[in-house]
Amino acid sequence: MISDDQWESAAGVLRGAGSAAIFCHTSPDGDALGSMFGLGLYLTRLGKQVWMSWGSEDVDVPPQYRFLPGAGSVSRHSEIPESLELCVALDCADIERLGLLIERYKSAAASINIDHHKTNEGFGKINVIDPSASSTAELVFGLTTRMGGTGGVGLNPDEATCLYTGIVTDTGRFQYSSTTPETLRVAANLRDAGVDHELVARSVFESASFEYLQLVGVVMSRAQLSDGVVSSWLAQADLNGVGLDETEHLIDVLRAIRNVRLAILLKEKPEGGWKASLRSSGGEVDAAILAKSFGGGGHARAAGFDADGGPADVIPAIVQRLANLEGSSD
């Protein structure tokens, strides 16, 4: 739970800042991008100078999110001043998720950390963290509401569309257990602000390329299922022009298999090494605890970590670690 003092501290710093750098995590998903664009556009409209970015060499917005207002306003990390008045980290479970922007964040005169991952230990000078929130976008909505206040500056349709996208993607279209009555009230308020929810649904969930759908076949052809754990993997050579940042929903195909309690998908990164994504179904497995044991983090139902080894090593290690964790809780 976030205290009134924490809310007001963050809102006060944002109100008083003349400029701000808004950072989300590397390999951004819908919540990271929606939160960043929503807050960045709002602050820009308040007359502040704003930079928006994430700490990767390549900062191209994934195709399914290019409809978002603000998608054309992303700066490369080299374009962001080294001396900053304020930095805001969004949806970063730990500071390492800022990648190439870590030092910019650390050296800023003021820093805010807004997140809903339960593994976030609070690396900002001001921390707005609530693991019970459905998404970081829901927290950004709460923050902008407090900044606007009664009769103040509310969200316009562009800003609302960004935050709605963050919420709808991180809740799996409101089907995950993180969806609370408050989440639905926030979504309703965003619809009232002018969100075209059909546009969001079409752009994010119904605009797959033919090449992407071929990847679904690749992932399923390699899938292995045992004792309620399904696993698969995807190499760089499989992508066929599809960006790795376009594949965030592939693991949901595995998770949707009947009676699966944990889905594992390994994806080879362009720079080498692998990204392991974990998804839990039914709440039987805590994916965050499992990921944290490998140096990663996330939520109980969705988590991940980076690995040096490939599928032949990492997948069996995850399965064995899960067995050890379950054995120790008996």
- Residue range 192-247, pLDDT digits in tens: 999 999 999 999 999 989 999 999 999 999 999 999 999 999 999 999 989 888 89
Is it the case that residue 286 has pLDDT exceeding 90?
A: yes
Instruction: Report DSSP letters for 164-207, one per residue.
Output: HHHHHHHTTTTTSTT--HHHHHHHHHHHHTT--HHHHHHHHHS-
CA distance 136 to 167: 8
d(CA 52, CA 23): 6
The confidence score (pLDDT) of residue 184 equals 97
For residues 28 and 141, state if they share a domain. yes
Q: Are residues 88 and 57 part of one domain?
A: yes
Mean pLDDT of 294-299: 88
Rounded to an integer, what distance in angstroms lies between the CA atom of residue 28 and that of residue 34?
A: 10
- What confidence score (pLDDT) does residue 152 get? 57
267-285: buried (b, 16+ CB within 10 Å) or exposed (e) per residue? bbeeeeebbbbbbbbeeeb
Q: Which of 130, 142, 133 is nearest to 189 (CA)?
A: 142
271 pLDDT more than 80: yes
Q: Is the pLDDT of residue 283 over 80?
A: no
- Pick the more confident residue, 50 or 209: 50
Give, in degrees to the nearest 5, the angle at Cα 24 between 33 and 9.
Answer: 110
Q: Are residues 217 and 197 in the same domain?
A: no
* Residues 163 and 41 grouped into a single domain: yes
Domain extent at residue 39: 4-204
Is the pLDDT higher at 25 or at 150?
A: 25
Which residue has 């928006």 as its token pair? 52
Distance between CA atoms of 166 and 75, rounded to whole angstroms? 20
Task: Please say which residue of 147, 172, 204 terminates a domain.
Answer: 204
Is residue 42 predicted with pLDDT exceeding 80?
yes
Q: Give yes or no: residues 216 and 183 share one domain.
A: no
User: Considering 204, 238, 272, which residue would you say is the last residue of a domain?
Assistant: 204
- The answer on pLDDT for 313 being more than 70 is yes
pLDDT per residue over 88-136, tens digit each?
Answer: 999 999 999 999 999 999 999 999 999 999 889 999 999 999 999 999 9
Q: What is the pLDDT at residue 5? A: 94
pLDDT over 90 percentage in the chain: 85
Please tell me whether residues 188 and 101 are part of one structural domain.
yes
Q: Do 304 and 185 share a structural domain? A: no
pLDDT, residue 298, reads 83
The CATH number given to whatever domain includes residue 27 is 3.90.1640.10
Confidence of residue 329 (pLDDT cuts 50, 70, 90): low
Domains identified in the chain, total number: 2
The Cβ of residue 163 has, within 10 Å, a number of other Cβ atoms equal to 32
Asked if 165 and 117 sit in the same domain, the reply is yes
Would the pLDDT of 28 be above 90?
yes
* Residue 252: φ, ψ to 5°: -65, -25
Rounded average pLDDT over 264-270: 95
Residues 163 and 49 in one domain: yes
CATH of residue 227's domain is 3.10.310.30
pLDDT confidence tier of residue 278, bands split at 50, 70 and 90: very high
Shared domain for 89 and 194, answered yes or no, is yes
The per-residue pLDDT for 118 is 86
Give yes or no: residues 158 and 195 share one domain: yes
What are the tens digits of pLDDT across the range 145-171?
A: 999 854 556 899 999 999 999 999 999
> End of a domain among 204, 219, 235?
204
Q: 267 with 215, same domain? A: yes
Q: What is the pTM of this model?
A: 0.88
